[in-house]
Structure 1
Amino acid sequence: MARGSEDPFALFDGAQRYRSYHENAGEPNSPSAGLPAPGHRPVEDTTDGAPASVRPLRLASPPVEPSLPEVAALPIAATGVPAAPRRPSMFRRRRFPTADDRAALAAHEMRVRQWTSARSRNVLIANTKSSGKTITCLVLGGVLASIRGGSVAVTEATPMAGDLAARAEGCPDLGLGELVRVIHDVRSIGELSAFTAPQSSHATVIGSPSVRGPLRAGDIVAVRRLLDTYYALTVTDTANSTSENAFGAALSSTDAVVIPVTCSLASIRGAYNTLQAIYERRSQSSLEQRVVIVATRDGGPEDPALRAEFLPRLQQLGHPVIEVPFDPALRDDSRELSLSDLSERSRYAWTAVAAAVVDALSTAPGDPLIINPSSSENGETTNRTTHLGG
């Protein structure tokens, strides 16, 4: 075609072929279909050496993506696209505590602060190893003391020295082992304070800062009687085995039991063993009605199915089950534990535990569980508590 042609595509060798794509695409029976346009050189077929005619190119319609109903929409992670991590908004990060949380906290603190009793009360922390007994003992005693302004003693009823003194604040020179040797000579709170470790929560810890001999059942009862004289509340850590004589003596002289349990088979078995030991004494003081379960988290791997199975079973037994969140300050055993180290969520949860414990203590019998041997007159024993402060 001449350079001055009106068709601008005539300058290119494939102009006629381009025109045939569009003019003959929808006319397969057209006379010019499949024939080369004038002035166009046919495309040679290199397969057999014979010239091949230029056939029209049929453009298929673009494929249509199959549509899925909304309910069948795949998540991003399933489509091969990595899910971008979502950072919680400022509103969600600051949502806790809500107004309801603060109202519940105030109600729990009021119940703990206003609780009174005609005699001293004792709370036993019981389960097997690796269930957080010592931490529960320190935190619960600290929360109770901080709300009530003191008059809470934290001690242990373990045959051998436990970890109570190692996790508590302070490094006293004397402890439970030395106190047992001179326990019958202590006549004042000042003399008793020489064996204690005061805490920033206003609680008083009487642990074992040094190696001591094993505690017998009589030693545990004597310690309980002395602490009842000067403290309104006593929180006691126990041994790992429920068959120990020390555990039996502590269980027979307590008003309520707190069982901390983690999501592990060993801890769950220990919780059921503790409950079994408590149920065997149901005819004596109905202690099984004053058991509080604390479901703790230690930061280790958990089986959701296991947790979903055993927590409802414990609730079916009629015991209150209170869950507390994981707190790194409680797991770090390389330093002293202070109540101020707890996170805000943790403090709210442990205050709820303290309120549940106080509710359980309110239903304990009014008669003293330990009889003062000096109150026997004419061969008859008179029930008289040794507590002096009410």
Structure 2
Amino acid sequence: MTQREQSLGEVTAEEGATVPRQLYPEALAPELDGTPPVVGEGTPLGHTGEHRAPSAQEFLERRAAPSDDGPATWGWRGRLRRWSGGVVTPAAGPAERADRRARADIQRDFAGPRTVAFVNPKGGAAKTTAVLAAGYTFGTIRGGGVVAWDNNETRGTLGIRGQRARHRNTTRELLGDLDRFSDVAGSRIGDLGAFVRAQGDAHFDVLASDERPDVTGTIRADDFLAVHRLLQRFYRVVLVDTGNNMRAENWLAAAETADLLVVTSTVREDTGYSGLWMLDALQDAGYADLERKTLTVLADPAPSVDRHLLHDLTAVYAERTRSVHRVPFDPALATGSVVPYAGLSAATRAAWLTACAAMATAL
């Protein structure tokens, strides 16, 4: 594992706090106060000391750059602007500017398809809930091109937590019909509609794991790689819900293939320990650059949690991963049934917006 490049800094556990250690790393985003990064003392990035007129392309890129300092639409600032008919146009407040930055991060272009695997070898660690919440966030803000895939070696629950479809096809049936997609020029994303389940206004698809009680086979590494290659042809973001057996071939293939690992855990000692044990095992197995390649989402399992445990989990995961993001308890997710995307609380949506922005930045 490589040496840490940045110090941890102060870790807090304020109610509802997110504790990013590297949410906006210098290599990937400008300073938050608008000051450009520097190369050498007093030399702005991209400047050599000699004046050079901007090219036509540079002009367009500068004009197209997203801005978070437009007029306010939220809160009293937004109401004042509307009531005055636009005569008074206060700037957006800090929360609205942060929301705009997060949305811009999620909407950024990638150089190719990106895969995010959600991992913790313990059941009840909120992996499936996290995959669906991330699918909703990426799907609605990016406008589609997102698939959530249940890569369980046998049977998972992503298919029953997502919105249903008229068909009952799963990864198992897709593997049996892969020849349909062997002709790259002739196969279409619409053909996948017989296997994936559209999530309506959430603007992403779900590929469920096997749901037949009479099937005894398991998904192997070669199966994972074949399906993954196919999904990457048609989707820009692939979110992988992993099983609980990290020694399974398809689990290991997902961890090896993913561009980013998201360690999910509830604020419980057993699920927190399980995630840390997994990180130890991956590190001992030689997974390179593990700290840079992972981030953590801590979910509250109840309306109130042990604050000392929350602080300890936040601190240790902040040392082991890029950043730590806390998701509040949401009664809409507590039943274990189909996720009501429209019924998620404002706090849940805001927390996942921040977490997904961090994922997009890391990608």
TM-score using structure 2 length: 0.68
Partner of 2:194: 194
Q: Distance in 1 between matches of 2:223 and 2:321?
A: 33
- What aligned pairs does 1:94-243 form with structure 2 within 5 A after superposition? 99-113=93-107, 115-127=108-120, 128-171=122-165, 172-186=167-181, 187-200=187-200, 201-208=202-209, 210-211=211-212, 212=215, 213-243=217-247
- 1:173–1:209 Cα contact (<8 Å) kept: no
Q: Distance in 2 between matches of 1:283 and 1:246?
A: 16
- 2:151–2:209 Cα contact (<8 Å) kept: no
RMSD of Structure 2 on Structure 1 (CA)? 2.1
Q: Distance in 2 between matches of 1:99 and 1:277?
A: 44
- 1:143–1:339 Cα contact (<8 Å) kept: no
- 1:157–1:239 Cα contact (<8 Å) kept: yes
- 1:278–1:288 Cα contact (<8 Å) kept: no
Query: What are structure 1's unaligned runs of at least 5 residues?
Result: 1-93, 362-390
What amino acid does structure 1 have at the position aligned with 2:171?
L
Q: Distance in 2 between matches of 1:287 and 1:229?
A: 27
Shift of 1:332: 1.7
* Identity among equivalent pairs (%): 27
Q: Distance in 1 between matches of 2:268 and 2:110?
A: 37
Dislocated runs of 4+, deviation >3 Å: 280-284
Q: Distance in 2 between matches of 1:178 and 1:273?
A: 34
- 1:261–1:271 Cα contact (<8 Å) kept: yes
Q: Distance in 1 between matches of 2:231 and 2:255?
A: 16
What amino acid does structure 2 have at the position aligned with 1:191?
D
What amino acid does structure 1 have at the position aligned with 2:116?
V
Shift of 1:283: 5.6
- 1:242–1:277 Cα contact (<8 Å) kept: no
What amino acid does structure 1 have at the position aligned with 2:233?
T
| 1:271 alignment partner, one of 275, 295, 301 | 275
Q: Secondary structure at the match of 1:173?
A: coil
| CA displacement 1:112-169 (0-9 Å, x = unmatched) | 11x1122211000001211100000111011001100000011021111100000001
Q: Secondary structure at the match of 2:150?
A: strand
Relative distance call for 1:148 and 1:184 in structure 2 (3 A) is same
| CA displacement 1:322-350 (0-9 Å, x = unmatched) | 1111111111223x213212111110110
Aligned residues: 264
The question of 1:345 aligning with 2:340 is answered no
What amino acid does structure 1 have at the position aligned with 2:354?
A
| CA displacement 1:341-383 (0-9 Å, x = unmatched) | 211111011000110001111xxxxxxxxxxxxxxxxxxxxxx
What amino acid does structure 2 have at the position aligned with 1:319?
R
Relative distance call for 1:344 and 1:283 in structure 2 (3 A) is closer
Question: Which structure has the larger Rg?
Answer: 1
TM-score using structure 1 length: 0.64
- 1:242–1:273 Cα contact (<8 Å) kept: no
Partner of 2:297: 294
Partner of 2:21: none
Q: Distance in 2 between matches of 1:281 and 1:203?
A: 34
- 2:152–2:209 Cα contact (<8 Å) kept: no
Q: Distance in 2 between matches of 1:209 and 1:158?
A: 8
Q: Distance in 2 between matches of 1:120 and 1:359?
A: 14
Partner of 2:257: 253
Partner of 1:36: none
Q: Distance in 1 between matches of 2:268 and 2:347?
A: 23
Q: Distance in 1 between matches of 2:267 and 2:228?
A: 32
| CA displacement 1:299-332 (0-9 Å, x = unmatched) | 1763322222221111123520011111111112
- 1:255–1:287 Cα contact (<8 Å) kept: no
